[in-house]
Structure 1
């Protein structure tokens, strides 16, 4: 079976924009296909059961102003594995902005780089963007949750059909007008989901908990010194870790409506640790090396300490990208996104809940990012993190690196020339005993063969290369964040307790 369910009309014109061409070329066809017709290289494991879903910024209409690769509409790509077979679907997230622009047959909102040129109300921490739901994707309480980085409506979708169900009916309105930030975490044991948002107005952050049956059971203000742009949060069995990093908007310019992000090397990074159902006065703040953080690997409790592992940006460089700066605007945009200009390295923070002290150490000196761990080990002591490797000079992922945090050993797998990946996901096999007993999944865009694939690697030894590869109906645009939905979690938070450490 291989069917084009719909082709979404586009008004894009030919352009030399690097983030609308090559590996970033948008897709407009929505497919339904399975491995009766999709080529399979190798043999799909029969003990791989669940859905591997990746989000993608996928521009449809001719942009208003300068296009940024985070502006495109969210498109989900999903591969459903069961009994040695697989079914592929891809669909746009049909947000209010998507539907409005389809009706108008043109772009109605400006993007991340020039929000001041827009006239319509919008979403995000800057309040002017189209809510594209193109950044994060996660499954909770039997429904997917797609959001954009700067904060958006909590868009729910069916995990099997990818049908957009709309903003969450239970609690979306309770978060207005601030919405939900792009990263949220689900506790595998309790099924609770922790999240945050970060408006430009006091208190500048809120923190919340959604129960396993999708009820908003906790939502409190967290006062920050001013408007911030945090990106991730961490959870343990008992705590949530909130971020107030050293990179934020110039407060004087922000009062004039000018949003200029800057790194403040004299301002320590702060991390607020709050009990899962804590009140604002329960937050304990820990200071650390000035830095910015995009993504965490995992957090857990170790005696009196809360441990947080993630990719630190100790010296972010904010290359100007606006058209007013002159010069090659595309080159400046790529320079800002190139992590070899803004190095990110695996790092560990230890927050002592008794002494109030912070200890830090580097885990690795190689540039990696987008660290992921098994869903079953989120918030628990863990051993393995799987990170992406960057193509120097580009916003492209050229390989994977596996960290064994107990032995200090690493493994790597590089995709090869002209092949680019996404954030991987670790899928433990049915009945797994060990943490790494399962598979590492990644979407690949191959520019030399003009095709895309879903690659399945042995998570315990990624250096061996793929054990199986499924070739997709057409080459898809590169994307970033992904999620793995275990087979017993597709209908809700019913994870087999035997699989949770």
Structure 2
């Protein structure tokens, strides 16, 4: 392994007993580039060519108030596969808030737990008063990686291969973009929404393959809501109005307290390039959903898969240090998400629902070549009870109901794992899951590849990383061919 390290940035973080500033969530402050990575086990496949990117909440400064793991500063970890070799790099997302806190030498903004009550300056996000850390998700659109923030941030642009940064995405509107914009590989479009405490409370937008905002419309809601994710089919974009949102009376006092209201779940289906008058609303059983899998069309129906929470407002977990409320809200075994299917009938206006698996599952992935289309295979994560730590994966055959499980050894924790199609793949599941592993037993990290055609056999390759990395949230994979295509299209536009 050849290693290049970079000067450390300023940090004021102090030792703490906080459960999400220790263990597998210990922040990693070092930035490196490593080439010729060492293989621990197996062999790096030669039938993949592209980049795995994962975002991380990686706290840099001592928090002003109560720390929430979603508050941490954004850091992108990347591994690049080509010709049977792998290289690694990680970089801070140098947001405007990151730069301001570097100048100040410490925290300026509070987080989700305290927000405006402790922030020293006006902040960002639907919440207001927050730091836009751009530390939640990362997608690749038009050849550029875009990092996003949990509660509607500005969107920061990076080169997927070098992680060189070029500031804000120029098309992002005033109210920002939600944590989970969606990219349709078939059309090259990026679909997004945002939300705020101001009427009409939600907007929906489309960015074309050239990086131009082509559609931006209101999605009228009765009041402020807290949607987190969206989905799309070939012709429809699917947004939601769920009964878990801020208490209206407390919100008048600038207190952002989440409450479950006695209301149904509502889904807004809007034609991809549609207008507000074309929205079709569908009611469904009350719940909250953090993440969707995929959606597709079948006859008169639009079918949506995601993770239905059985207990969106869990009771605090026992914790002598006072973190019980936080621990419950990030513990899947407390809010109990289950793989679930919604069927929206465009002819009757009715919704039908179906439970697909009764296990605790979340953070699903699938072959992105099937995004918005009928698909067969999904890949979900399992978690350690009481913690926001992934300890395994489940592959589902959604056609015949079969599933396969892969459990990690105790003390080994995974990252969200996108599907990597093999070059010249012969089937939808002909490829790999790729994931970063943080090993608390050895104090090391690695990258693993799991052959999805032989799922329960475990990793076919384990690659050593140069340092132990913190656990994180969302990730993506992009084939080199997609990056090459985007570069060619950009050159053609510039030459025209």
Q: Give me the TM-score of the superposition, normalised by structure 2.
A: 0.96
Mapped partners of 2:316, 2:246: distance in 1: 14
Matched, 1:248 2:245: yes
- Deviation string for 1:405-430 (max 9, x for gaps)? 01111001111110001111100011
Aligned twin of 2:453 = 460
Question: Which residues in structure 2 correspond to 1:90-239 (within 5 Å)?
Answer: 90-115=90-115, 116-169=117-170, 171-172=171-172, 175-176=173-174, 178-239=175-236
Question: Of residues 441, 451, 454 in structure 1, which corresponds to 2:434?
Answer: 441
Structure 1: stretches of 5+ with no match in the other structure:
496-501
CA distance in 2: counterparts of 1:356 and 1:270, whole angstroms: 12
Bigger mean CA deviation after superposition, 10-19 or 220-229: 10-19
Which of the residues 288, 294, 304 maps onto 2:290?
294
- Residue 316 of structure 2 contacts residue 328 of structure 2 at CA under 8 Å; is this kept in 1? no
SS in 1 for 2:74: strand
CA contact (8 A) 2:143 2:487 kept: no
Rounded to whole Å, the distance in 1 between the matches of 2:227 and 2:322 is 26
- With 119-128 and 283-292 compared, the bigger mean Cα shift is at 119-128
Picking from 464, 467, 491, the partner of 1:471 is: 464
The 3-state SS of whatever aligns with 1:489 is: helix
3-state SS in 2 of match to 1:226: coil
Deviations 1:67-106 (A, max 9, x none): 1101111000000101101110100000001111111111
The number of residues matched between the two structures is 487
Does 1:481 pair with 2:461? Answer: no
CA distance in structure 2 between the partners assigned to 1:231 and 1:493 by the alignment: 28
| Deviates most, 103-112 or 302-311 | 103-112
Please give the secondary structure, in 2, of the residue aligned with 1:461.
helix
Shift in Å at residue 492 of structure 1? 5.1
- Is contact 1:151–1:182 with CA below 8 Å preserved after alignment? yes
Q: Is the 8 A contact 2:420 2:431 kept in 1?
A: yes
Aligned equivalents of 1:309 and 1:106: distance in 2? 42
Contact preservation (8 Å) 1:299, 1:380: yes
1:499 aligned residue: none
Report which stretch shifted further, 110-119 or 384-393: 110-119
1:165 CA drift (Å):
0.9
8 Å contact kept, 2:396–2:404: yes
State the match for 1:313 in structure 2.
309
The alpha-carbon deviation at position 327 of structure 1 amounts to: 6.6
Name which of structure 1's ranges 311-320 and 278-287 shifts more when overlaid on structure 2: 311-320
2:387 and 2:40 map into 1 onto residues whose CA distance is: 30
Shift of 1:15: 1.2
Give the deviation of 1:258 after TM superposition.
1.6
The equivalences for 1:271-420 within 5 A come to 271-319=267-315, 328-420=321-413
1:39 Cα deviation from its structure 2 partner: 3.5
Q: Give the distance between the partners of 1:225 and 1:383, measured in 2 at CA.
A: 36
Secondary structure of 1:156's counterpart equals strand
Report the secondary structure of 1:340's partner residue. Answer: helix
Structure 2 runs not aligned, ≥5 long: 489-496
Q: What SS is found at the alignment partner of 1:460? A: helix
Alpha-carbon distance in 1 for matches of 2:473, 2:333: 18
- TM-score where L is the length of structure 1: 0.95
8 A Cα contact 2:136 2:473, kept in partner: yes
Question: What's the offset of the Cα at 1:228?
Answer: 0.3
Deviations 1:468-488 (A, max 9, x none): 111100110011100001111
Q: RMSD of the alignment, in Å? A: 1.7
Q: Write the distance in 2 (CA, Å) between the matches of 1:4 and 1:39.
A: 21
State the 1:286 CA deviation.
0.1
Instruction: State whether structure 2 residue 425 is matched by structure 1 residue 432.
Output: yes
Query: Which has the higher mean CA deviation after the structures are superposed, 384-393 or 250-259?
Result: 250-259
Cα offset for 1:319?
4.3
Contact 1:141 1:491 in 2 (8 A): no
> C-alpha displacement at 1:256, in angstroms?
2.2
Q: Measure the CA separation in 2 of the matches of 1:119 and 1:30.
A: 28
In 2, the alpha carbon distance for the partners of 1:251 and 1:493 equals: 45
Distance 2:33 2:224 in 1: 43
